[in-house]
Structure 1
Amino acid sequence: MMRLANDSLGRLPRSVSRPGYDRAAVRRGVVHFGPGAFHRAHQAAAFDRLLEHDPRWGLTGVSLNSRGVADALNPQDGLYTLALIDTDTEYRVIGAVGAVLTRDEPQAILAALVHKDTRIVSSTVTEKGYCLAADGTLDFSHPAIGREIEAAQAHDWVPSTFTGWLVRGLRARRLAGLNGLTVLSCDNLTDNGRKLEAATIALAQAIDAETARWIADNVAFPNAMVDSITPATDDALRARVSAATGLEDAWPIQRERFTQWVIEDRFAGERPALELAGVTFANEVRPFETAKLRLLNGAHSSLAYIGLGRGLETVADAMADRDLAVFVERLMREDIAPSVAAAPGLDQERYISDILARFANPSIRHLLAQIAWDGSQKLPYRLLDTVRDALAAGRPIERLALPIAAWLRFLTAAAREGRAITDPLATLLLERAEDWRSVLALRDVFGDLGDDPRFLRAVERGWASLEAGSLEAIGAL
């Protein structure tokens, strides 16, 4: 079977959408760090729509941790297939990505960052990719940050972190007399733009004070949030894509049809007209971001850890478990919603109903094990902030504590079975897993919650309920 590439686009059947613009005329206005499935399903697809109107916003990908995406996409001229999963599946070939660079090409990465066409640097490097401490500031005790500061003294410094590359690239732009640009985080962090701005300036200050001042004056870091369920690529998807396109695609992507991207209207220089691709620009992103992090992501993590403990495999499986589905709906409506301020134009009750319907979509095979990755980084934003709000307001936290207990039981099971987990704190978590109270004592994850007897009692009751196999024991249903 012929492989997807520029030369084979003409072989696609009429039922498959393809780039509606001249790819040879595209200029690379965006450098994106972390071109994995989430980015290619969302931001790259939006820029692909924009390129039909404005050819100046093509993408260059940068993958710092793996060659997988580069090895898959570069032989395909950056092309890949996006499957939009619904009752009927739509297939689109996305052409916004020109090339994917890796850490083995530092000069090419630097050249992309200082190119005159580059006006945006964006990122989906996951929560752990920002090297932040529990308070959201740059973690100067992080080994990678220490190495960056030491290595930056050399003229040929090659960063290993996203923040390091930002400082390296922005310093080079300053020295070259170029304009500043916009740095656009698309990761699930509250106030992601502000946190990245503070971390970048803090690292720059430790390396080059003049560059730190230049960044503060010339670079914009808007907050943003992105929402759409993106299951991992598997062999079944590859087979469906091959059958639909008649071409081999090394790394197709799938997501649900629903998508939401909200960006703070705060740019250094020209703003891309992404509203043509359905993007919302807002004066304040925080209400949308909080609604998504707490209601959708908090419920997702709850389904993942409780569902895995009940022997379930996918989100749709979890929603087919009546007791678990009832629990999650009550958690969202009665425990999480009171902590979420209304976003402009967002009907919260309908938003919750829509999320529940998206979770229950049997066409989306979203693995609970995938959602369970990096719990130590995700739970503070997805559930623990809601716990703090509930405690401060005197509201009950029993249901909120149940997914925390389920995560602790998930760790314990992994430790006893000798099974690896995907988490930057994996070694420490598995060492402490036999004593769940010692996990709650990790201040980098729980802050002062681990000292609060109300929280400890609620987690203990949740543990007992899960051990008994009943969600009713704590009045969850």
Structure 2
Amino acid sequence: MTKRLNNAVLAELPPTVRRPDYDRSRITTGIVHLGVGAFHRAHQAAYTDDVLANDPHWGIVAASLRSPDTSDALEPQGGLYTLSVRSSAGEALRVIGSISRVIVAPQALDDLLAVMSDPATRIVSLTVTEKGYCHDPATGQLNEGHPDIEHDLANPAQPKSAPGLIVEALRRRRAAGAAPFTVLTCDNLPSNGRTVKRVLTRYAELVDRDLGRWVESDVACPSTMVDRIVPATTDDDRERISARLSAMDAWPVVTEPFIQWVIEDHFPQGRPAWEKAGAEFVADVEPYEHMKLRLLNGSHSTLAYLGYLAGYETVSEAMADPAYEQLIRGLMDEEVTPTLHMPPGADLASYKSALIERFKNLALKHRTWQIAMDGSQKLPQRLLGTVRDRLKSNASIDRLALGVAAWMRYVTGIGETGVPIDVRDPMAAHLRILADRADDSPERLARELFTVREIFGDDLPADPRFVEAVVSALTRLYEKGAKRTVAEFESRLVSP
């Protein structure tokens, strides 16, 4: 197949493929997005694509902060790519046109900073994952000893990190008398808008005290909650989708039908009418954020570690095991839901039922290994916040502790059959050193990992209820394996 997806072939695509309903040549840049991964392309870029026909001033220039892979795939396609929505009913294809170009930051830093500094850019959004904020997940504060932050503070005009890029662009705008852009984080951070505001303000203070005060007073950082399951694209996906297009798409994105975006409506320089595409604007995102982080993400991480250890390659395979489904339902209903405080009208029962069905989606090959990545950054938000709330209420944490214990077993880097695990985590080397010290003792392993205060803080390792629950769960995982532990779990909870 020699024909490549691009503007010239849009009119030739099969009629079953949805395509942009606007003239792409009229689109101008209003958004710069940092972190052009699959999630952004399945979520925010799709919402934006829906509104460009009525307002062409919100096109996206996307930036990759590390790898040129996405740029290499999309630049020959003029930024176009296919969004595949898969369910048991089949697959619907849509070509997204909201991204005009992709900049690789290490290769074109001046270009990226120039676009971010342009007054026409009114929003800078981010999906850089939890680790991209260079913060301490346990405290939400800037990690001033992070190598990228140390580099950026020594070379503020040549930043590597997301905070460094944003603050340098804001500094240039302030020097030119231009209004600041709105910073819109779409990552899974607790109170993500307030967290990114705190990180940016502190970094800016370290660059220049007056700049820090300006960032604190003038830069809007609305909080958001984003929700859509987006597995990694496979070669089989590329071949299948390209065949249906009769044109080669180097990097399509596969996702599920469900999509949600809840946003605090604070955009001093304006924003797209995303509500016309289904986004929900609210005064306070925090209840929705807790709902999603704790119910979806907490369950996902628990499934990922326990599923991977048991040999389940995908979430749907794990959920096909009745014991795993029962565990996840119990986690949601018994341990997470009591910690949530939703506004009137929020239907938690329907949300949880929808989650179970989404996890069971056989068409969505979401790998447990992919979800297991970067656990040191994810655990504080996904599981440990719920643990703290449960402990304050003197309530049980058995299922939460099992999820934490499964992470501990996973990051040893050795699976239940002795096969190495490819642990992808910014702290992987340090975690492996701690695990090696434990010499296969579950109790020693837990106590070694509890010393990582960036994950557990100072309070949880000092609480015997938490320590005993995790050590007990970890011991069972070592003695019985993940599959048998889960199979026996609920009956153990109700036994006298």
- Same fold (TM > 0.5): yes
Q: 1:446 aligns with which of 449, 456, 477?
A: 456
Residue 216 of structure 1 deviates from its aligned partner by: 2.5
1:414–1:421: 8 Å Cα contact kept in structure 2?
Answer: no
Gapped runs of 5+ residues in structure 1? none
Residue 222 of structure 1 deviates from its aligned partner by: 0.2
1:261 counterpart SS class = strand
Kindly provide the amino acid, as one letter, of the partner of residue 443 in structure 1. Answer: R
Residue 485 of structure 2 is aligned to residue 470 of structure 1: yes
1:218–1:268: 8 Å Cα contact kept in structure 2?
Answer: no
Distance 1:476 1:5 in 2: 57
Q: Which residue of 2 aligns with 1:459?
A: 470
Distance 2:46 2:344 in 1: 25
Q: Which residue of 2 aligns with 1:409?
A: 409
Residue 281 of structure 2 is aligned to residue 281 of structure 1: yes
Q: Which residue of 2 aligns with 1:19?
A: 20
Q: Which residue of 2 aligns with 1:148?
A: 152
Distance 2:189 2:274 in 1: 22
Residue 344 of structure 1 deviates from its aligned partner by: 4.4
Q: Which residue of 1 aligns with 2:166?
A: 166
Kindly provide the amino acid, as one letter, of the partner of residue 40 in structure 1. Answer: R
Kindly provide the amino acid, as one letter, of the partner of residue 424 in structure 2. Answer: T
2:465 counterpart SS class = helix
Q: Which moved more, 1:102-111 or 1:34-43?
A: 102-111
Identity of aligned residues (%): 45
1:455 counterpart SS class = helix
Distance 1:285 1:64 in 2: 27
1:412 counterpart SS class = coil
TM-score by length of 1: 0.97
2:375–2:425: 8 Å Cα contact kept in structure 1?
Answer: yes
TM-score by length of 2: 0.93
Residue 92 of structure 2 is aligned to residue 77 of structure 1: no
- CA displacement, residues 20-61 of structure 1 (integer Å, 9 cap, x when unaligned): 000000011000000100000000000000102110100000
1:233–1:252: 8 Å Cα contact kept in structure 2?
Answer: yes
2:412–2:431: 8 Å Cα contact kept in structure 1?
Answer: no
Q: 2:431 aligns with which of 422, 425, 429?
A: 429
**Residue 11 and residue 473 in structure 1: after superposition, are their counterparts in 2 closer, same or farther (change >3 A)?**
closer
Residue 269 of structure 1 deviates from its aligned partner by: 2.2
Backbone CA RMSD of aligned residues: 1.4
- CA displacement, residues 336-394 of structure 1 (integer Å, 9 cap, x when unaligned): 11111114432111111110111111111110000000011001100011111111101
Q: Which residue of 1 aligns with 2:95?
A: 93
- CA displacement, residues 62-94 of structure 1 (integer Å, 9 cap, x when unaligned): 111110111110111000000011212110000
Distance 1:296 1:164 in 2: 31
Q: Which residue of 2 aligns with 1:322?
A: 322
1:373 counterpart SS class = coil
Q: Which residue of 2 aligns with 1:68?
A: 69
Residue 356 of structure 2 is aligned to residue 356 of structure 1: yes
2:123–2:271: 8 Å Cα contact kept in structure 1?
Answer: no
Residue 210 of structure 1 deviates from its aligned partner by: 2.4
Distance 2:489 2:235 in 1: 41
Distance 1:387 1:3 in 2: 50
1:442–1:450: 8 Å Cα contact kept in structure 2?
Answer: no
2:230–2:254: 8 Å Cα contact kept in structure 1?
Answer: yes
Residue 476 of structure 1 deviates from its aligned partner by: 4.9
2:313 counterpart SS class = coil
1:399–1:476: 8 Å Cα contact kept in structure 2?
Answer: no
2:404 counterpart SS class = helix
Q: 1:126 aligns with which of 119, 129, 140?
A: 129
2:63 counterpart SS class = strand
Q: Which residue of 2 aligns with 1:175?
A: 175
1:375–1:423: 8 Å Cα contact kept in structure 2?
Answer: yes
- Alignment map for 1:306-321 (pairs within 5 Å): 306-321=306-321
2:411 counterpart SS class = helix
Residue 414 of structure 1 deviates from its aligned partner by: 3.0
2:413–2:423: 8 Å Cα contact kept in structure 1?
Answer: no
Residue 417 of structure 1 deviates from its aligned partner by: 4.7
